[in-house]
Structure 1
Amino acid sequence: MTVAAEPSTLAPTATRVAIVTGSSRGIGAAVARRLAADGFAVVVNYAGRVADAEHVVGEIVAAGGRAIAVQADVADPAAVGRLFDRAEAEFGGVDVVVNNAGVIQPGLVPLVDTDDALLDRLLAINIKGTFYTMRAAVQRLRKGGRIVNFSTSVVGLALPGYAVYAATKAAVETMTRIVAKELRGRGISVNAVAPGPTATDLFFDGKTPEQIEHLTKLAPLERLGRPEDIARVVSFLAGPEAEWVNGQTVRANGGIV
């Protein structure tokens, strides 16, 4: 007996459109370049690094892709709305949202030493920023869309000195699972990527050479991740091969946890 394949839920549009938050550098920039290579028109979002964002756009356009840079602080819901407005005005709609924008604490900070300013910053960007962008995506993504959030493998490792940071990303994982169920009937999947230590400026900031060496050796593969490693996972989750993956957190960490 032959069973007919179910029709794809992906939006029937010639060019799919992706918003990648915080994509002026690091993992976000690698994700933007990869999705552009996959055929997406890409909105390169940035908070303050306009030159870096324009550089990423220039790389994409030089390679034959389509991209624009749009400033928006994801911790501001009105700015998030304008980000989607610009994407729709420029490219006609939005199919994929990658919630990459986030902040990490400066090195190891025990909970007792976490001041209110750091707590508020982590909550504002990692939780509220993801929430605001997800809320807009739920309202505005086309049928068959994808939401890809960013967590961290620190949630699984439970490393001392990362209590608040890990807590914000655990909240992202919980929202991911629940929103995937809330979108029943829309053909939209919601997943998260949880990188391990990855060689970016954000990772190196505030760490001693000894801490970096220790984290480099944690994985059985004995190296830091590269932004391109994480971008490949996002590419999979944003593409047709991941249509049956929903409500999951993919740990991309070389086997640390």
Structure 2
Amino acid sequence: METPLATGSLAGIRALVTGSSRGIGADTATFLAAAGAKVVINFRNKEPRALKIVAGIEQSGGEAFAVGADLTDPASVEAMFQQVQERWGGLDLLVLNASGGMESGLGEDYAMKLNRDAQVNVLTAAEEVLVEGARVVFVTSHQAHFIKTTPTMPEYEAVALSKRAGEDALRERIPGLTEKGIEFVVVSGDMIEGTITATLLERVNPGAIQSRREDAGRLYKVDEFAAEVAQAAVDQIPENHTRYVGDISGFTR
């Protein structure tokens, strides 16, 4: 993967990426580490994958460690940030990447628990370790970001609504974050090829991703979108705190 950030540009930065044992989170963490950041790899139950990411970063000369935490469990989240404080003394970058809701067997309210409630709880706990000048990056989809004005696939609607609810709840925290000198930015992209969400959508609605690909012209791959998320760690905060990845014309008509 070609890193989007200059080598050494994030030297001294202490970062934590939620849900970074695989997919977009893993690639984002790897890009940040390649630019010099020290990175916490967060996982829920995929410890071997998380340790593999850590090993890869260390083999490339970077610094990282893995922490297991169920983001829907406040005590687990608090313990995670305590480890960060003890090891590194603070945090300069928090990437809120973990999301879900398409999985089966987790309860009807799981999407809202993870995509709204957990995001707020993670940010609340993180504020104890985020230093002045830190940045919070929230990762979402166009389907969720624009759900109030643009309908999405029925199979994805509950997830989209919960992610938008999470974004709204986090945005309410911006004034308080600003007072503490903490920046906030949302990164929104279309459906991403190869993600768990895309796979599950295709399973319940065969052809859904192909149809979306045709409508959009192209869909970003995991590493391409992760590069944009990593770039959001250093770019100037855009208008309305939102960085759009790819074409949004189909969502703003």
- Name the CA distance, whole Å, in 1 between partners of 2:238 and 2:172: 14
TM score, norm. by length of structure 1: 0.83
Match of residue 109 from structure 2: 120
2:243 equivalent to 1:250: yes
Gaps of 5+ in 1: 1-12, 108-114
Gaps of 5+ in 2: 1-9
Match of residue 5 from structure 1: none
1:216 pairs, out of 185, 209, 213, with: 213
- Name the CA distance, whole Å, in 2 between partners of 1:104 and 1:199: 18
2:127 equivalent to 1:130: no
Aligned CA distance change for structure 1 residues 14 and 23 (closer, same or farther; 3 Å): closer
How far did 1:168 drift? 1.0
**What pairs with 1:154-193 in structure 2 (closer than 5 Å)?**
154-155=143-144, 156=146, 157-161=150-154, 162-193=156-187
Q: Deviations over 1:15-61 (max 9, x none)?
A: 11111010010111111111111211000000001111111111111
How far did 1:140 drift? 2.2
1:31 pairs, out of 24, 28, 33, with: 28
- Name the CA distance, whole Å, in 2 between partners of 1:48 and 1:253: 32
How far did 1:127 drift? 1.0
Match of residue 141 from structure 1: 130
How far did 1:184 drift? 2.8
- Name the CA distance, whole Å, in 1 between partners of 2:21 and 2:77: 16
Aligned CA distance change for structure 1 residues 134 and 195 (closer, same or farther; 3 Å): same
Match of residue 73 from structure 1: 70
Aligned CA distance change for structure 1 residues 29 and 179 (closer, same or farther; 3 Å): same
How far did 1:174 drift? 1.3
2:194 counterpart letter in structure 1 = T
Aligned CA distance change for structure 1 residues 28 and 40 (closer, same or farther; 3 Å): same
- Name the CA distance, whole Å, in 1 between partners of 2:138 and 2:195: 20
Aligned CA distance change for structure 1 residues 201 and 14 (closer, same or farther; 3 Å): closer
Give the CA RMSD over aligned residues: 2.2
How far did 1:234 drift? 2.2
2:193 counterpart letter in structure 1 = A
Aligned CA distance change for structure 1 residues 34 and 140 (closer, same or farther; 3 Å): same
How far did 1:167 drift? 1.2
How far did 1:247 drift? 5.2
Give SS of 2:102's match.
Answer: coil
- Name the CA distance, whole Å, in 2 between partners of 1:140 and 1:90: 11
User: Retained in 2: the 8 A contact 1:21–1:28?
Assistant: yes
* Count of equivalent residues: 233
